[in-house]
Structure 1
Amino acid sequence: MLDIKMIRQNVDEVKEQLGNRGVKPEIIEEIVAKDRKRRDIIVQTETLKKQRNDVSQAIAQLKRNKENADAQIEEMKKVGDAIKAFDEELNGLDEEVTDMASRLPNMPNKTIPVGPDEDSNVELRKVGTPRTFDFEPKAHWEIGEKLDILDFERGAKVAGSRFLYYKGWGARLERALYNFMLDEHAADGYTEIIPPYVVNDESMYGTGQFPKFKADVFQIENENLTLIPTAEVPLTNYYRDEVIPEEKLPVYFTALSPSFRSEAGSAGRDTRGLIRLHQFNKVEMVKYTKPEDSYAELEKMTNDAGRIMEKLGLPYHVITLSTGDMGFSAAMTHDLEVWLPAQDMYREISSCSNTETFQARRAHIQYRDDNGKLQFVHTLNGSGLAVGRTLAAVLENYQNEDGSVTVPEVLRPYMGGLDVIK
């Protein structure tokens, strides 16, 4: 969430920066106007409270002198009624301003590309060379179904579209991938966490999913609980409403979790395969840092995700997202996209974002600096990696003409030594 004081003091800049993210200037103007009215009421209320105190003292003096204080008592009653009315109006304005501000996206870092959509994204680097096939590469869902390791038909029968069963070596390969990822991140200094897979509304608000994106999640009816769309939510809320000791920073967390997404608005997109499911496994990375360290930590996080693909031998590239393509909470995002031969294109497999103080302000996560002053931490999150998409990339990049799939060397210890899935 953006600081109301910052918005008030930098109205033109906020209009320009958030305008690049699709926010109309009238929304900023309305927030500023309501905030101005709120502050005016505070001044009037404080004036009335001083008047009430003065009248109260006058009444006490009159009573001590055994004089009539009816007029002053009537005056104090009117002042009290006015204060009550102002307080009610103030509470309403507080709620309105907070609600409107909570729906504003983060201010983008000034160095990122400005543009309305993904066409404005900028490629930073390519890593690895896509394999040249001497046969027509098949899509991962076709490979998986022919090997009898992915069962989409029965997944749809039991749960609905965009669900599946991993079966036999498919289940083993999925497990091998996420165990490999967790081991790599643990070796890089991340503390492994097994988080709750359901969270309350306060947690969803803290990371920016609520109130704006309720349509994108699965909620438990009649409960203040939501199935997590990503482990970012429970990992970032670990320190919600807490002050982290400065000496602990930076904090690195990693976790495997299922992710549940309604995929609202994605009708007709990626209806086949593992790219866009309602339930999928993901290994997440989350960091809490001091503000001055967060962008260096973003680069490290991006490299941590990339190193997983490099060890798996998967070609990928890194792009910086434009203002129009970036997620709600992010100030800067690097996407890592893996090469899928059957689609002849790169597809997203990880997003690494710095949210600066946006989530910390919503979730009240602070630390005390060298001067003893409370400051908001910066929070970062990234996929390390989306497991199903990684499995899709392995099947497509390591497929053989006879329909078998070679197991990447780093995964073989996790696969009982198996080198080819036949």
Structure 2
Amino acid sequence: MALDYRLGDTIVAPATAMGEAGVGILRLSGPRALAIARALCRRQRPWEPRRAYLQRFYDDRGGALDQGIVLYFPAPNSFTGEDVVELQGHGSPLVLQLLQQSARRLGARDARPGEFSERAFLNGRMDLAQAEGLADLIHAQSESQARAALASLEGRFSEKINELREAILQVLALCEAGLDFSEEDLGSAHRDALEQALKTSQRRLESLLQQARQGARLARGARVALIGRPNVGKSSLLNALAGRESAIVTAIAGTTRDLVREELQIGGLTVELVDTAGLQDSADPVEREGIRRSRATVASSQWVLLVADAAAGWKSDDARILAELDSQRLTIVWNKGDLVAKAPVLPEPRPQLVVSARTGAGLDALRMELQRSLGAVEAAPFSARNRHVHALEECGNALTEAATALSMGNEELLAECLRAAGASLATVTGAMDVEEILGAIFSQFCIGK
């Protein structure tokens, strides 16, 4: 969806979750925020910025609704960069709704999802990476995710992006200087300086890309599918790993007809564990649909646990299912290990574990195997998104092409590759400013005095 640039509007929305609570907050942002808030409080005297005032709240007709705290944050030193007022009352959904309706009648409009953060970005109060860090913090499901998201919100990721971009701009400034003075022989010193500066940028990029991949993996989590023929104990295994009865367990084949999902924390990583319908031929259209969904889930999963029955041994149906799967993303899990002395023999060596969903034996080893297979991380320096990783990879490709251009002595191509590398980084934070390149050139080489 395209950004809405109607910054002249005053917007209003609850800043707290819907539902009964001790406190409910209504937030206003925009040029009329202060006037509307004063009308809702029937306040004549001005409020001092960032000072809490106990006020009665009224509707636009003058009827009393609530009593609470008012905080005023004048532009530009507010979250959105605009005038912001918060009415902090009792957490009644009805009162918040009536206050919001009154604010609309006084000239505000309802904020779109994320519009307060969008305005913060458009007004320069945060960049895109920080805004995404804020979203990650709100949706964090583990301590590791929360700490990494807070680091991004506070600008740690953005700082590293800007440092790398500045380093690339310095290389470009050197390159542009050589092009500007192309009629003069700048000698090997100029080329050596370019090569050294470019290698430094590449090293910085590799380090940052590794950290971003770590942050993205922590933020997005992973999906693991439990797959196998009916009655091997997939649902029992899901329940045992989750620590509660999520899936129905019976001895009847085909009990699981739809996907059952549970979220676990494994090595700081949020893992969605999905119990799927047993893969078998079926004339039941409902069961067939469940099997179709199972296969779709397997295709979108980062790892697959092929569950087999240790007491029954390796069956032709197990081999058939294995043949359908990507064996590079798979571990064979022998369930019902309490019924056998040792794991059955596989036709060929493959990663395998023996567990018992009934007794819990082997579950810790299975969690460790998932942590290893998924590359789970206990912590990350900051949170990141897949788009950030892609942008850094594009930057890396451009720097590789720049090194090739330098080796060919083609500084015009080198400059173009460096511009592309800088543009890729700019997409992470939302910064696109050609003047930065000109500024670097003028400050160091006095070109075009």
Q: TM-score, normalised by structure 2?
A: 0.26
> Larger Cα Rg: Structure 1 or Structure 2?
2
Higher relative contact order (CA 8 A, sep 6+): 1
- Return the TM-score normalized by structure 1: 0.27
